[in-house]
């Protein structure tokens, strides 16, 4: 965060969300790296609090942008991530989507997977998907940012490796994107 003119703040991402905040009334800006760990620790809410403390920012005056990042369509997480969110947010269930794993061989040859457990077939594990953009949007709203002042670019880095870097989709062998913000002199 800064209120100094001529300085650019930046964050590098390759699936995590960049969240950019701008207070035009007090001429202050901030940029935050919102992966699942930062999101569950309320990085955006805390950032707004720090902008209030240091620059006198009022959340209703903020403009926010949520940049490209992995979205709920592709961001599969483990139950430990879901549990972490459930311990922090009353609305956590709205941030997750669960599906049953599909396996063509399992579906085509079910007798191969016959087990002694009732009802007789082993179940495929469930898949859990997290919507990080929704989680960060909710934090912005809960902190007092007006809904019409929140822009979400809506791009999924995993779906669009033709345009963005995706750490997951490209198995770690990828570049980084930079989100930057500053105050003109």
Q: What are the tens digits of pLDDT across the range 128-161?
A: 999 999 999 999 999 999 999 999 999 999 999 9
Mean pLDDT, rounded, for 71-85: 96
Per-residue pLDDT of 25-44, as tens digits, reads: 999 999 999 999 999 999 99
Q: Please state, in angstroms and rounded to a whole number, the distance separating the CA atoms of residues 141 and 27.
A: 21
**What pLDDT score does 129 carry?**
97
Instruction: For the chain, give every domain's residue range.
Output: 1-74+131-185, 76-130
The CA distance from 40 to 50, in Å, is 17
84 Rama class: left (phi>0) / alpha (psi -120 to 50) / beta? alpha
Quote the pTM value.
0.85
CATH assignment of 1-74+131-185? 3.60.140.10
The pLDDT of residue 124 is 62
Least confident of 15-29, 89-103, 127-141: 89-103
Q: Give me 26's structure tokens.
A: 């007090």
What's the confidence (pLDDT) of residue 12? 96
């Amino acid at each position: 965060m800064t209120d100094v003119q001529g300085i650019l703040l930046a964050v590098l991402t390759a699936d995590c969300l960049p969240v950019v905040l701008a207070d035009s009334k007090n001429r202050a800006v901030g940029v935050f790296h919102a992966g699942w760990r930062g999101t569950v620790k309320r990085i955006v809410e805390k950032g707004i609090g720090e902008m209030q403390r240091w620059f006198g920012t009022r959340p209703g005056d903020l403009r926010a942008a949520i940049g490209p990042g992995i979205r709920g369509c592709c961001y599969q997480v483990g139950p430990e991530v879901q549990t972490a969110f459930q311990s922090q947010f009353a609305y956590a269930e709205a941030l997750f989507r669960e599906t049953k794993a599909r396996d063509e061989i399992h579906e085509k040859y079910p007798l191969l997977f016959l087990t002694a457990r009732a009802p007789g077939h082993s179940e495929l594990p469930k898949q859990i998907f997290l919507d990080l953009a929704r989680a960060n949007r909710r934090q912005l709203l809960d902190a007092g940012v007006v809904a019409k002042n929140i822009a979400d670019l809506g791009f999924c880095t995993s779906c669009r490796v033709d345009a963005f870097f995706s750490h997951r989709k490209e198995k770690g062998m990828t570049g980084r994107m930079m989100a930057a913000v500053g105050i003109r002199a």
